[in-house]
Structure formats: structure tokens, C-alpha cells
Chain A
């Protein structure tokens, strides 16, 4: 039996990597200008080729693909952490209003800085998003102390999300005309318009948080058995809970800071990954969630920019189309049914 499980893990990881590679090339090749594989290879590896093609690959497509990979992965790991923390299979940064909180603070900061004629840098965006995430998280924690029912918690989160979105819309409406276009695109969610500076900052933040998360696999695994047993096994629950909240907030804040709020990835991907691996062991699920989130977002981003080209869809509409059915399915499966019991 053990042997069988290991084979399953190996095949799953291999599958995710192959999908990632395939989608990577597919993405880099799709768009208004079509390039052959050898051209792409030359441009990326040898840095040669026509100037237009070179610029499209290096300045537009590559940053966008990398952003989708890094942020998609971050989002689904953040979802996994929240699900573990709240012991709730339908928890995620978007559903709990954490993304919307980040969106609100980021728009306020953006408008304030734009009003002064400044453009917000990557670090400022992340900090603003992190502050917003923590505010929403604070409310969610207050709610979770009062209500024990998992569905009530999610409803509370959705309400917080609506309130934040409403305030954001309000603020955006009264912002200067020139600011709105930029802000509007971002607040709908998109991986476009990433600079290399953005990429390096987000990679630094996300990969640091991911490395720490991975090193916390052991206490996360113990926590899956519930607080009482985790404490008995020697986990310092108070410290652990703070760490988990900070990590999941940093991860989802990075996403919101650069790509705006993206729905459903945080719930759908961990669920798909757990079904694929047939285990919830964090040491396997965390890296697999990162790969899965990257694959999912690359796939959705490709659809967002190609299906109605040259018009682009917002990434959230696409992730919702593919993610929401998974979430509904998750609600009806045995493991999720207990969400309604407690």
C-alpha cells in the first residue's frame, strides 16, 4: 500500500510539472504575434531575434507568465493554510474577504500617491496589501471566536468582502479621471503590465514565505489533528497560529498587490491537489499546491487573453468559471459536508 502511495505522489508531481512546462510554452506562443518554437528558444536562451519579437517575449509575455506562476502558486498555498487554520474546506483568501481588504487599502494608497503625482512602488503595494489583509483577517478572527459554524464564518467573510469592495468602488468613483483607468484594470484582477522590478520583488516575498511555510509542514500536519492533540505533541499553539496567519496574509497580499483580487484559486486548487494526491500531508500538499496554482493560473490567464482577443477578460472571471464548480463539488463531497455540522 505504501509503495502504491509513493508512485501516486511521483506521478502527480510529474504530471504537474509537465502541465506547467506545456502551458509555459503555449502561453509564450499565443497572442497577436505567432512565433515558432525555435524562435522562442533563441530569444529566451540566446537572447537573439527580431526586436519586436524580442520585446514582446521579454517585456510582455515572460513577466506575465512568471507573475501567473508565482502569484497563482502563492494564492493556492495561502488558501491551503487558511483551510487548515479554520479547519474549513471552503476557506480561502477571497471568500473570507482578505483579498478585498487588501484591495481596499491598496486602492486608497494608490489614489493618495497618484494625487501627489507619485506611482506606488512594489514594496509599498505589498505593504499596503498586507495591512489590508490583516485588517480583514482581524475581523474574521473576531467572527470565528463568536461563531463555531463553518458556514457562518464563510458568510461573515463574504460580507466583509462586499463591504470592502463597496468602499473601494466608492473611492474609485471619486478618484481623478486619469487614475481610474489604471485602477479599474487592477481592481478587476489581471496579470498584465508586470515589470521585471515587480517580478523580482514578488518572487522575493513569495518564495521566502513559501520556504518558511514548507519548513512548518510538521506542525501544520499536527494541527490537522486539532488543537488539543497538536498542543499535546509539543506545538506551541499560540505562536503557531500567529505564524500561520502572517504567512497566509503575506502570500495573499502579494497576489492582491500586483494582480488584484483573484477568486476561487485558493479553494479550488488545494481541493484538486488533495484529491489528486489522496493525502493532506502538508509536506506533499504545500509544494503540489504551488505547482497546481501556477498551472491553474497560467491556464486561466491564457484563456483570459486569447478567447476574445484582442479584448482581455478579467482573470477573476475565468478563475471563477473553472474554480467555482470545483468549490461546489467540494461542498457536496463527504469531507466538506461536515462544514455544515459544526
Chain B
């Protein structure tokens, strides 16, 4: 346990003395990002609030550098740990600089007057989050994205060894989500700070985290690297997906597939089919997709959306057997949609399929 900056030993958390999640083991090194994922109401915030002493622990211990956190004074803890929480704050008549400067609280004297060094740290923190130009703006007047950056600057200004963030990217647009996480990542490397946060954006969690913890109902369901956690089937179980599906490689969600006998046969491959699959699914038209290699980018989306997918093994020429089964499915549809402009060696059979469709006087359309 020596190299972990923060770790918990059989931590139990909950409200009003009733444990919600028991035996939580969380370990983070300096310079690492640990992300909590899990469905709404699973208890991510409860864990974070307990680790920041906003909520009393219901069992177990939290150690910061081998020291029991419960025994630390408020002042000592505030110099080690800072937070960015979801509570909306509306401070009256405070500029962004005032908000960031509030982070110097543990370091200033009785009346809280800032020294030259304090001012320097405030300035550096604001530069780090690219918000120096906001210094004189009223905090209540800025956008959500700017607000999160200012709150992060406040957390940095506290010169902590660990920052705990509760859903820091919620309500932000994609640009600001990326920007905030990029700043965080840079900060972690540069200052060797440990970070624990909760995220709803699985795609981002997968890319930014060193370790991921999955919180599910009354337990920690899984704890591992993003590679171990982010598989299609696990995420589906964790979030209890019933309609639609999650694609862990792309980090994207697909809507529910239209059920029924396929009406349209889509010939695709190499990414050409994805837009059509989604269009048909959106219109509620059941369709079949083929002939796709299992390593084709279209294959994953077709798998999620098409009623039937005729596929070939990776890197193989399309075999006659596969072609024949595609032909049967195609002839049961009343329309064929070809998304391919050109055919190569591996998918010559798709050209034959299109020609067969024209011969059979199926309504064939090439996009």
C-alpha cells in the first residue's frame, strides 16, 4: 500500500447511519486518475462525499499517505484535498478571481488577506485552466463551461495533493468537456496530483482514466483498467441496457433495432453503410446487412441495428456458401440498397450480389 496516495480499507458509506455500499477498496497513486462509473443513483456521489468528509463514514478507514483521514484537522485536510462538487453555487457579487482566491483559505491569516505569493498562485491557477481573461467577470454571469474551469482553478489554487470531482463534465458541451478533461490530465502529470472523479460519459472515462471503478447498487461491481472494464457486454450489464446497445470500441450508443422481417437489404462495407443503417433504424424499417467482413467498421453497427447480418471471417475472400445465404436473404427483401461505389478483391461477391439483384428485378439503388 506504500505507493498509493489515498486508499480506503473496508469503507462503508451511506446516509443516516444506513450503509448503502460496504467494503469499498479504492486505491489511487499520485499522478493517476481514477474514475467512478455506474448508473444514476448507484452511489457514486455518496462515495465521493464520504471520501471528502462531507458525509460521515459508516465503517472502515480512509488513508491519505498512510495517515487516517478521520484523525486529520480540518486545516490539514484542506491543504491535501480539494473538491469540485455538483452543488450549484451562486455567490453574490464575486468575481471569478475572488472565487479562485477563496482556494487560498487554508494558507492565509486570521482575516484572510492575500499575500503576494497567494496572488501569484491564484494567477497561475487561472492560467492553467485558460481563464485568466475571466478574472474580473461576475461568477454568476459566466457559462457552465467557464464555471467548471473556475471551480477547477479554485481547487488547484488550494495546492492539494488530491482533487475529488463529482461529475465535472455534466452540462458541458463537447468542446468544454474535452477542454476540462485535457486540463485535468495535464495537471495530473505536471503536479503529480491524484484525481478521483465520477463521470457519466463512458467514452471519455475510457480514454482519460488510469483505473475505473464500477459502482452498482449496493456494491463495487468491478475495479480495473479501462481495457478490462469497457466491453460491450459488461457495460450492458452494469447499466442494465434493455433497449439499444453500447459499443465500447467506438464509445457510442445505438438505438433499439427495428424488429420484423427485413424489408431492405443493405450492401455495405468500409464505413459506407453506417449512415444508412442508422437512417433505416430511425425510420423503424427492419433491414438486413451484408456481406460484411467481421473486422469491417460497418459490422459492429450492423450487428447492433440490422435484423440479420451476413458476415464473412476477417481477411477471407467471401466464400460461395456465404454468398448463397446472402442471396436468399436478399431475395426475401423487396429493395436493395448498395452503399459501395467500388469493389475490391475481397468483396467481389458483393458486386455479384448487386448484379443478381438487378437480374431478379429487385428495386436496386446505388448511393
Q: Which residues of A contact B (CB under 8 A)?
A: 1, 89, 215, 217-218, 221-222, 224-226, 228-229, 231-236, 274, 278-281, 283, 334-335, 338
Which of chain B's residues have a CB closer than 8 A to the CB of A228? 54, 83, 85, 87
Identify 16 new A-B residue pairs, CB closer than 8 A, beyond the known A232-B78, A234-B106: A89-B92, A215-B111, A217-B112, A222-B102, A224-B92, A226-B89, A229-B85, A231-B53, A232-B52, A235-B105, A274-B93, A279-B94, A280-B91, A283-B111, A283-B112, A334-B140
Q: Which of B81, B89, B105, B108 has the largest number of chain A CB atoms within 10 A?
A: B105
Residue among B77, B102, B136 making CB contact with A229, cutoff 8 Å: B102
A279–B97 Cα distance when bound, in Å, is 12
A233-B92 in contact (CB<8A): no
Q: How many residues of B contact A (CB 8 A)?
A: 36
Q: State the Cβ distance, A289 to closest chain B Cβ, in Å.
A: 14
Kindly identify, within residues 212 to 258 of chain B, every residue whose CB is under 8 Å from any CB belonging to chain A. Answer: none
Which of chain A's residues have a CB closer than 8 A to the CB of B98? 279, 281
Kindly identify, within residues 316 to 340 of chain B, every residue whose CB is under 8 Å from any CB belonging to chain A. Answer: none
Residue among A218, A274, A278, A338 making CB contact with B105, cutoff 8 Å: A218
Which residue of chain A has the shortest Cβ distance to B53 in the bound complex?
A231
Which of chain B's residues have a CB closer than 8 A to the CB of A222? 102, 105
Which residue of chain A has the shortest Cβ distance to B103 in the bound complex?
A233
Q: Which residues of B contact A (CB under 8 A)?
A: 52-54, 73-75, 77-79, 81-83, 85, 87, 89-94, 98-99, 102-103, 105-106, 108, 110-113, 135-136, 140, 154, 158
Can you report 24 A-B residue pairs in the complex whose CB atoms are below 8 A from each other? Answer: A217-B111, A218-B110, A218-B111, A221-B112, A226-B87, A226-B89, A228-B87, A229-B89, A231-B53, A231-B54, A232-B54, A233-B78, A233-B103, A233-B106, A233-B158, A234-B79, A234-B106, A236-B74, A279-B93, A279-B98, A280-B94, A283-B113, A335-B92, A335-B93
Known: A225-B89, A274-B92, A274-B93. A234 touches B105 (CB 8 A): yes
Which residue of chain B has the shortest Cβ distance to A217 in the bound complex?
B111
Q: State the Cβ distance, B102 to closest chain A Cβ, in Å.
A: 6
B99-A225 in contact (CB<8A): yes
Which residue of chain B has the shortest Cβ distance to A215 in the bound complex?
B110
A225-B93 in contact (CB<8A): no
A226–B99 Cα distance when bound, in Å, is 11
Known: A278-B93, A280-B93, A280-B94. A233 touches B110 (CB 8 A): no
A229-B112 in contact (CB<8A): no
B112-A232 in contact (CB<8A): no
Q: State the Cβ distance, A53 to closest chain B Cβ, in Å.
A: 44
Which of chain B's residues have a CB closer than 8 A to the CB of A232? 52, 54, 78, 81-83, 158
Which of chain B's residues have a CB closer than 8 A to the CB of A280? 91-94
A231–B82 Cα distance when bound, in Å, is 10
Q: State the Cβ distance, B125 to closest chain A Cβ, in Å.
A: 14
Residue among A89, A217, A225, A283 making CB contact with B91, cutoff 8 Å: A225
A224-B112 in contact (CB<8A): no
A279–B106 Cα distance when bound, in Å, is 22
A218-B108 in contact (CB<8A): yes
A234–B79 Cα distance when bound, in Å, is 9
Which of chain B's residues have a CB closer than 8 A to the CB of A221? 102, 112
Q: State the Cβ distance, A215 to closest chain B Cβ, in Å.
A: 7
A283–B101 Cα distance when bound, in Å, is 15
Which of chain A's residues have a CB closer than 8 A to the CB of B79? 234
Which of chain B's residues have a CB closer than 8 A to the CB of A233? 78, 102-103, 105-106, 158
Which residue of chain A has the shortest Cβ distance to B112 in the bound complex?
A218
Which of chain A's residues have a CB closer than 8 A to the CB of B90? 338
A234–B78 Cα distance when bound, in Å, is 5
